[in-house]
Chains A and B, each alone.
Chain A
Amino acid sequence: MSTNDQNTELYGILAEFKNPKALLDASEKVVEAGYDKFDTYAPFPIHGIDKAMNLPKSKLGWIVLGHGILGFTGAIAMMYFMSVIDYPINISGKPFFNAPAWVPVTFELTVLLSAFGAVFGMFFLNGLPRLNNPLFNVERFKKATDDGFFVCIEASDSKFQEDLVRQLFEEAGATHIEEVYD
């Protein structure tokens, strides 16, 4: 269909399903069959899809925590260097190590770095930015932003065998199955 001379390497097999419920069931079947390099695509978030796909708990929280701690200690270290070591100034008789006055900056830097950790950590975990995806070669896949519910099992999966994957999708009730080339 969308194969031309450059696109010869098999990327995976894409199956379309009728509705979110069918997608949830199909994804459970894919997990049962033992595939782990696969993904699901839908126009909107579906409750319970992460469970159906057997996804592990996101590591994003730990990334955010790490960045938050970095911001917290970084802010205190910075102010300690500036106000105590490098250029101490007596401000209305308050101590150089002026903990209450440092709280706003510490708070801001903790929040700032946590937010950076959340946004860029999310990019990192999702493999973004990515300029192209082989799935875009499939004309039908445009429906994924409108009314299409897809599962794609990638060819790099150790258990990948074309005929078995096709059979699995047919049993799961796919309305349309096709190969994706890179």
Chain B
Amino acid sequence: MSHKPTITDSLQFSADSKIPQVLLGVGVVGLILSAIGYFTNTDQFFFSYLVSFTFFTGIALASVFMVMFHHITKSKWGVVVRRIPEVFGSNIWIWAIFIIPVILGIHNLYHWSHEDAVAADKILKGKSAYLNTPFFIIRQVIYFAIWGFVGHKLYKASVDLEKTGDWGITSLMRKVSAPAIPIFGLSIAFASFDWLMSLDPHWFSTMFGVYFFAISFQSFWAIMILMVFFLQRNGYLKNTIGQSHIYDLGAWLFAFTVFYAYIAFSQFLLIYYANLPEETLWFYHRLEGGYQYIAYGLLLFRFALPFLVLLNREQKHKRSVLAFVAIVVVTIHFLELHWIVKPALHPEEAHGLSFSWMDFSTFIGLGGIFFWLFFNRFKQNSMIPENDPKLDECLEKTYHH
């Protein structure tokens, strides 16, 4: 019965592939266009940039999370796809330079950064021990130092294991992951307070950190599914990543659809029910001026549609269905971030829901760079963690009808 499963695919991403160059070109063009936008409409530029920045940073953070819980649970289900999130995580220390525009635009983005505004506002004065410019910058440095270190460390350990075949490295992976999970949880929560919640500095929600985690994680699984399909479409890992692995990704997407709905609705329900003015205002601004269409869209396309479509077991590994749901989830994730950020710039009084070309140019620019960084590192090593002790078991997994 026991035999070593053989891998028939080439495990090396082609060094001559044009994909990284194309992505770099797209990214640079997008960023240059966005830079022009900076001179035409500075406020719009920074708000658009923040939406795109949190979109991709959230994906990278969720990636590291997935790698960490994969290690500490000694999982075998995802070994063949684990290199993808590892590579996303390995680039966070480079990605850190993209926080600089957010810091430069602090006065455009964040009302609390104006000292005269704080002086005239009792609530902001009370929060000024946390919400002040120097501490904001210090926190960004701390976040990216932690994330960059852990992300790169876990990638490095995995590559070392592949090169040396030393299974002792798996215990190092667990030793890094176990303490890093709570640290990640806290730092992601505070980062979401800084980037998104403090756009409305009077408003607060203790659930906001979990909420940001939930939206990022749901779209992370969608991105994973699309990445796997993209690779297989280009002829990579066709026989290595099988039906059972795709099914697992579909099941994760389904699970985090429910998790998202639970978290997002809990936040809404408590505020709606208690009806306290300082809490309700945030949702009030997001249920008028056109933003209500996104709010109802979230209910339909971020929860109801993926939930009902993926409910049946057979649908969780059907490629066309999964690709469709994944694209819907990624799109609605972008719209949800827009819905969180933009009412601070365009409330109903200032023409409400509106899209600027900069929303798309920053998204394409940052996205191009994000995926260029990915493929640039992805091609340096094998596309799956070879020599991993759980790899054979993972390859042997078959889908049971």
Chain A residues packing against B (C-beta within 8 Å):
47-48, 51, 57, 61, 92, 100-101, 103-104
Which of B265, B313, B400 lies in contact with A103, CB distance below 8 A? B265
Is the contact region of chain A dominated by helix, strand, or loop, or is it mixed? Answer: helix
The reply to whether A100 and B268 form a contact with Cβ atoms under 8 Å apart is yes
Residues of A within 8 A of B401 (CB): 51, 57
Residue of A nearest to B1 (CB): A21
* CB–CB A100/B275 < 8 A: no
New A-B contacts (13) at CB < 8 Å, excluding given A92-B275, A100-B273, A103-B269? A47-B400, A48-B400, A51-B401, A61-B312, A61-B313, A100-B268, A100-B269, A100-B272, A101-B269, A101-B272, A101-B273, A103-B265, A104-B269
Report the separation of the CA atoms of residues A92 and B276 in the bound assembly, to the nearest whole angstrom.
11
In the complex, which residue of chain A has the Cβ closest to the Cβ of B311?
Answer: A65
Residues of chain B within 8 A (CB-CB) of A48 are 400
User: Nearest CB to that of A92 among chain B residues?
Assistant: B275
A100 to B271, CA, bound (A): 11
CB-CB < 8 A to B313: which residues of A?
Answer: 61
- Separation of A90 and B270 alpha carbons in the complex (Å): 19
A59 to chain B minimum Cβ distance, whole angstroms, is 13
- Bound complex: CA of A47 vs CA of B269, how far in Å? 44
Q: B288 CB to closest chain A CB, in angstroms? A: 17
The range of chain B's interface size is 10 to 19
B residues 280-312 in Cβ contact with A at 8 Å: 312
Q: B273 — which chain A residues lie within 8 A by C-beta?
A: 100-101
Which residues from chain A contact B275 at a C-beta distance below 8 Å? Answer: 92
How close is B267's CB to chain A, nearest CB, in angstroms?
A: 12
A47 vs B400: C-alpha distance in the bound complex, in angstroms?
8
For residue B249, give the distance in angstroms from its CB to the closest CB of chain A: 21
B58, chain A: closest CB distance, angstroms: 26
Complex Cα gap A61–B275 (Å): 40
Q: CA of A58 to CA of B303 in the docked complex: distance in angstroms?
A: 27
B-side binding surface: helix, strand, loop or mixed?
A: helix
- A sample of 17 inter-chain contacts (CB < 8 A) reads A47-B400, A48-B400, A51-B401, A57-B401, A61-B312, A61-B313, A92-B275, A100-B268, A100-B269, A100-B272, A100-B273, A101-B269, A101-B272, A101-B273, A103-B265, A103-B269, A104-B269
Q: Name the residue on B nearest A48 (C-beta).
A: B400
**B397–chain A nearest beta-carbon distance, Å:** 12
- List the B residue with the shortest CB-CB distance to A104: B269
Q: A51 — nearest CB in chain B belongs to which residue?
A: B401
Q: Determine the distance from Cα of A61 to Cα of B313 in the docked complex, in whole angstroms.
A: 10
The distance from the CB of B401 to the nearest CB of chain A, in whole angstroms, is 7
A104 to B265, CA, bound (A): 10
A contact residues around B400 at 8 Å (CB): 47-48
**Nearest A-chain residue to B400, judged by Cβ:** A47
Q: How far is the CB of B273 from chain A (nearest CB, A)?
A: 6
Q: Which residue of A lies closest to B262 (CB)?
A: A107
Which B181-237 residues sit within 8 Å CB-CB of chain A? none
Least distance between A9 CB and chain B CB atoms (Å): 37
Q: A57 CA to B400 CA in the complex, in Å?
A: 12
Bound CA–CA A100/B265 (angstroms): 9
Q: Which residue of A lies closest to B273 (CB)?
A: A101
Task: Give min CB distance, A100 to chain B, whole Å.
Answer: 5
CA distance A134 to B158 in the complex (A): 57
Q: Sort A-B residue pairs by CB-CB distance and give the 10 closest, nearest first.
A: A100-B272, A100-B269, A92-B275, A101-B273, A103-B265, A103-B269, A47-B400, A100-B268, A51-B401, A101-B269
B26 to chain A, nearest CB (A): 42
- CA gap between A57 and B268 in the complex, in Å: 40
Q: Which residues of B contact A92 (CB under 8 A)?
A: 275
* A61 contacts across to B, CB distance below 8 A: 312-313
Q: List, in ascending order, chain A residues with CB within 8 A of B269's CB.
A: 100-101, 103-104
Chain B, residues 366-401, CB within 8 Å of chain A (1/0): the string is 000000000000000000000000000000000011
Report B3 CB to chain A, min CB distance, Å.
Answer: 16
A176-B216 Cα distance, complex, nearest whole Å: 59
The chain B residue sitting closest to A94, CB to CB, is B275
State A51–B269 Cα separation when bound (angstroms): 46
**CB neighbours of B265 from chain A (8 A):** 103
Q: Mark B243-274, 1 if CB is under 8 A from A, else 0.
A: 00000000000000000000001001100110
Cβ–Cβ < 8 Å partners of B268 in chain A: 100
Q: How far, in angstroms, from A57 to B312 measured CA to CA in the complex? A: 13
Alpha-carbon distance between A115 and B47 when the two chains are bound, in angstroms: 46
A47 and B273 CA atoms in complex are apart in Å by 49
- Assembled-state Cα–Cα distance A100/B272 (Å): 8
Q: Which residue of A lies closest to B275 (CB)?
A: A92
B314 to chain A: closest residue by CB: A57
- For B272, list chain A residues within 8 Å (CB): 100-101
Question: Which residue of B has the minimal Cβ distance to A57?
Answer: B401
Which chain B residues lie closer than 8 Å to A51 at the CB level? 401
Q: How far is the CB of A116 from chain B (nearest CB, A)?
A: 18
A99 to chain B, nearest CB (A): 10
Query: For A101, what are the chain B residues with a Cβ–Cβ distance below 8 Å?
Result: 269, 272-273
Question: Shortest Cβ distance from B268 into chain A, in angstroms?
Answer: 7
Q: In whole angstroms, how far apart are the Cα atoms of A104 and B275 in the complex?
A: 17
Give the distance in Å from the alpha carbon of A104 to the alpha carbon of B272 in the complex: 13
Q: Which residues of A contact B312 (CB under 8 A)?
A: 61
Assembled-state Cα–Cα distance A103/B313 (Å): 25
Kindly provide the distance from the CB of A66 to the nearest chain B CB, expressed in whole angstroms: 13
| CB-nearest residue of chain A to B265 | A103
